[in-house]
Amino acid sequence: MDRVFSNKRDIAVFVGPTLLLFVAIVLVPIFVSSYYSLLDWNGIGNGKFIGLDNYVEMFTDSRALNSMKNSLLFAAASVFFQLPVSLLLALILASSVKGEGFYRTVYFIPVLISTVVIAQLWSKIYNADYGLLNTLLKTVGLPDLASDWLGQRKTALVASFIPILWQYVGYHMLLMYAGAKSISSEIIEAAKIDGASTIRTAFSVIIPLMKPVLKVSLVFSVIGALKIFDLIYVLTGGGPFFVTEVPSTLMYTTIFDTFRYGYGSAISVFIILECLVFTIVINKLFKTE
């Protein structure tokens, strides 16, 4: 093994193409967007260099600030609602319940469905006229609770969060399930012999040993929430009155509707930096000796 890794030519042959591809589709676009973010440019002709004016506008624009707040709320919902549910399901399935394989597959099915399809499905559920949710409320004698869930400011944001939280519960559940299953049964048996209850074993033994997996799930969950686009765009388009808008949908409309490529690029750079900062913070919080 040491001889393989000491052969720098072989390493370059295998790593080189991947590195070039990474530079071409990741690093170069980031640097290009960073340059465009310093321009006042409509996508045609030469742009005018304006320095950090786009960033100043972004942090003083109420619409942009509202989109940032929404993305942070979505990240918080992912951390405090989605991940705990995923962890609970993972621990239950990892305890070798009957039908473990069946439930594992069922919970993971929504992850395999396109987010656009998920958005269309939930838009039908939320529909004010024939939606399943309103029909169910009327059937159980609660017609006063029926609402235009995606068309009203007070309900649109929460209604937009629920589908994506639901879709990826199975994804994080599978990661945590694999982490729980990798723990030696001898450790769990030792805890039980010492008199630890099932709940105490979960919190004192299983969950601490799942720390690396929990860190990965937390990073994926937060980053996914901060850069969410497709579901919000299909479900509400950022409406009504920008109440469900997030930075990625604002970036899209800024570039392709108002042709402000410089300002849109500044928003894209902000999203990248935001994801980077949160990743670093999470890694620091989960740092182990």
pLDDT at 61: 94
- Please tell me the distance from the alpha carbon of residue 195 to that of residue 213, in angstroms, as a whole number: 27
Give tens-digit pLDDT for 174-195: 999 999 999 888 888 888 888 8
**60 close to 68: Cβ distance less than 8 angstroms:** no
Structure tokens at 92: 């239950």
pLDDT at 2 over 60: no
pLDDT at 6: 63
Give tens-digit pLDDT for 79-137: 999 999 999 999 999 888 888 889 999 999 999 999 999 999 999 999 988 899 999 99
Residue 39 phi/psi, 5-degree rounding, is -115, 155
**48 close to 40: Cβ distance less than 8 angstroms:** yes
Least confident range from 151-155, 171-175, 260-264: namely: 151-155
pLDDT, mean over the chain = 90
- Please tell me the distance from the alpha carbon of residue 211 to that of residue 217, in angstroms, as a whole number: 10
pLDDT at 12: 81
CATH number for the segment(s) 60-285: 1.10.3720.10
Give tens-digit pLDDT for 186-245: 888 888 888 888 888 888 889 999 999 999 999 999 999 999 999 999 999 898 889 999
Query: Cβ of 35: how many Cβ atoms within 10 Å?
Result: 15
Q: How confident is the model at residue 4 (pLDDT cuts 50, 70, 90)?
A: low
Residue 49 phi/psi, 5-degree rounding, is -70, 125
Region 150-155: what's the mean pLDDT?
Answer: 90
- The larger pLDDT score, comparing residue 258 to residue 289, is at 258
Is omega for the bond preceding 240 within 30 degrees of 0, making it cis?
Answer: yes
3 state SS of 205: helix
- Please tell me the distance from the alpha carbon of residue 286 to that of residue 289, in angstroms, as a whole number: 10
Residue 91 phi/psi, 5-degree rounding, is -65, -40
Task: Answer yes or no: pTM beyond 0.85.
Answer: yes
pLDDT at 7: 72
* Residue ranges per structural domain of the chain: 60-285
- Please tell me the distance from the alpha carbon of residue 68 to that of residue 61, in angstroms, as a whole number: 11
Structure tokens at 70: 């929404």
Region 29-45: what's the mean pLDDT?
Answer: 92
